[in-house]
Amino acid sequence: MEKDILLLYNPKAGDTFFRFELERFLDVFGKRNCTVRVFQSQSEGDMTECLKNTRLEELSMIIVAGGDGTCNEVLQAMMSRHIQIPIGIIPAGTRNNLAKFLEMPEDYGQCIEVLSRMRTNTINVGEVNGHYFIDRCGFGSLASIYHTTKQDVKNIFGKTAYYANGIRQIPRSEPFHLRLETEDQTMEDDFILFLVINSNGAPYSGEAFGVEQNKGTSGDSQLEFIGIRNTKRLTNSRLLLRSIGRIPAESKAVVRLKADKLRITVSQSEFARKELPDNMVCVIDGEPGPTAPFSFELHRNALTMLTNQECSTWNIPLERNEEH
């Protein structure tokens, strides 16, 4: 390989153990005649600066070692600058939903071996008000559990920290009025939570607020709106408690629809005890996003990812996958 590989590495992500795997990473790619440049992040935003100051034409791929927050920063930089270089993910964070979607092994050694095979696939990218996401965007009091959970608690308790934080926030959840517009329809109702999922043609398996999908290829998929309507207070609490694990698709309180473009306007609900704060934002891939109103758009095949295709269930229907 004539061009270099750029490894963007967040030493503070997750259990911080990836630092012990750097030598293995350099050895595996060195045996494949690759020259690796290593950039160790010191603070938020410096990976973006690194990409701005790098001669991109000298790179064959970019590999990011970190969690969803780290990957989100790199995604924003790549999409805003229209960088077409293949990107790989090493799940080194507390949250690794993107790595799970790509079916990358959690074991660092196995993941490095998979990345060294350099197999790629294109994926869709969602956009909301100029912010990009690969997984999903959420709005509502409970949607903020990812970025409101303290880092030291996440490092100690892992995924359990999110569920504990979510359970504490359920009693504070307030309904809001939502107007949803697509090219084909318009609807209004009061909701307590909504997600916009970028399914990418694979079964969705998020860490929380999961919704089972069964789709075709990424070229066929659309953005999917999934909202929980406001009902009785006790019913709301039960729905939100269930939704921390997986949103119940069979419930009459759940609204689902698909589109390439969505416009969502949020306002105070007549059932709310107080007005929504002006700074209430959505959460995209676990990180704070923009404020309402929201304009969503799907960009098909916008990013090239290194994937675990050899043992992937990329296009295998969910029913077949569950039999094994």
Same domain, yes or no, for 157 and 276? yes
Structure tokens at 172: 């504070």
Contact 65, 18 (CB under 8 A): yes
More confident residue, 171 or 129: 129
Provide the pLDDT for residue 216.
41
Provide the pLDDT for residue 264.
96
pTM for the model = 0.78
Q: Is 310 part of any domain?
A: no
Same domain, yes or no, for 137 and 112? no
Q: Which of 102, 293, 93 is nearest to 180 (CA)?
A: 293
Same domain, yes or no, for 170 and 286? yes
Provide the pLDDT for residue 320.
35
DSSP state of 177: E
Provide the pLDDT for residue 111.
94
Please write the tens of the pLDDT for every residue from 28-63: 999 999 999 999 998 889 999 999 999 999 999 999
Residue 128 has pLDDT above 80, yes or no: yes
117-131, 150-164, 216-230, 277-291 — most confident range = 117-131
Q: Is 267 part of any domain?
A: yes
More confident residue, 197 or 245: 197
Provide the pLDDT for residue 276.
59
Same domain, yes or no, for 103 and 210? no
More confident residue, 3 or 240: 3
84-93, 256-265, 280-289, 306-315: least confidently modelled range? 306-315
Same domain, yes or no, for 112 and 137? no
Q: Is 324 part of any domain?
A: no
Angle at 127 between CA 144 and CA 125, to 5 degrees: 105
Residue 176 has pLDDT above 80, yes or no: yes
Same domain, yes or no, for 176 and 273? yes
Number of other CB atoms surrounding residue 273 within 10 Å = 7
Same domain, yes or no, for 152 and 12? no
Same domain, yes or no, for 108 and 257? no
Same domain, yes or no, for 186 and 155? yes
As a whole number, the mean pLDDT across the chain is 78
More confident residue, 169 or 128: 128
Place of tokens 């696939």: 121
- pLDDT band at residue 85, thresholds of 50, 70 and 90? very high
DSSP state of 276: P
Q: Is 160 part of any domain?
A: yes
271: domain CATH number? 2.60.200.40
Residue 94 has pLDDT above 60, yes or no: yes
Q: Where among 67, 86, 118 does a domain terminate?
A: 118
Contact 308, 105 (CB under 8 A): yes
User: Mean pLDDT across the stretch 195-215?
Assistant: 57
Alpha helices in the chain (DSSP H): 22-30, 46-52, 68-80, 97-101, 108-116, 145-148, 151-157, 160-169, 233-245, 318-322
- For 186-219, b/e burial (b = at least 16 CB within 10 A) is eeeebbbbbbbbbbbbbbbebbbbbbebebeebe
- The C-alpha atoms of residue 240 and residue 166 are separated, in whole angstroms, by 9
Residue 178 has pLDDT above 50, yes or no: yes
Q: What are phi and psi of 180, to 5 degrees?
A: -115, 125
Provide the pLDDT for residue 221.
81
- The C-alpha atoms of residue 287 and residue 135 are separated, in whole angstroms, by 11
Contact 175, 230 (CB under 8 A): yes
- The C-alpha atoms of residue 94 and residue 49 are separated, in whole angstroms, by 24
- The C-alpha atoms of residue 114 and residue 107 are separated, in whole angstroms, by 11
Residue 313 has pLDDT above 80, yes or no: no
Contact 223, 260 (CB under 8 A): yes
Contact 91, 21 (CB under 8 A): no
Query: Length of the chain, please?
Result: 324
CB-based burial label for 227 (10 Å; 0-12, 13-18, 19+): buried
Q: Is 44 part of any domain?
A: yes
Residue 143 has pLDDT above 50, yes or no: yes
Same domain, yes or no, for 156 and 283? yes
Same domain, yes or no, for 172 and 280? yes
Same domain, yes or no, for 231 and 187? yes
More confident residue, 91 or 161: 91
Q: Residue 46 sits in which domain range?
A: 4-118
Q: Is 320 part of any domain?
A: no
73: domain CATH number? 3.40.50.10330
- pLDDT band at residue 162, thresholds of 50, 70 and 90? low
Q: Is 307 part of any domain?
A: no
Please write the tens of the pLDDT for every residue from 209-265: 555 444 444 456 899 998 888 876 555 556 554 554 556 566 778 888 999 999 999
Q: Is 15 part of any domain?
A: yes
51-60, 65-74, 158-167, 218-227: least confidently modelled range? 158-167
Structure tokens at 305: 């990812």
Total domains in the chain come to 2
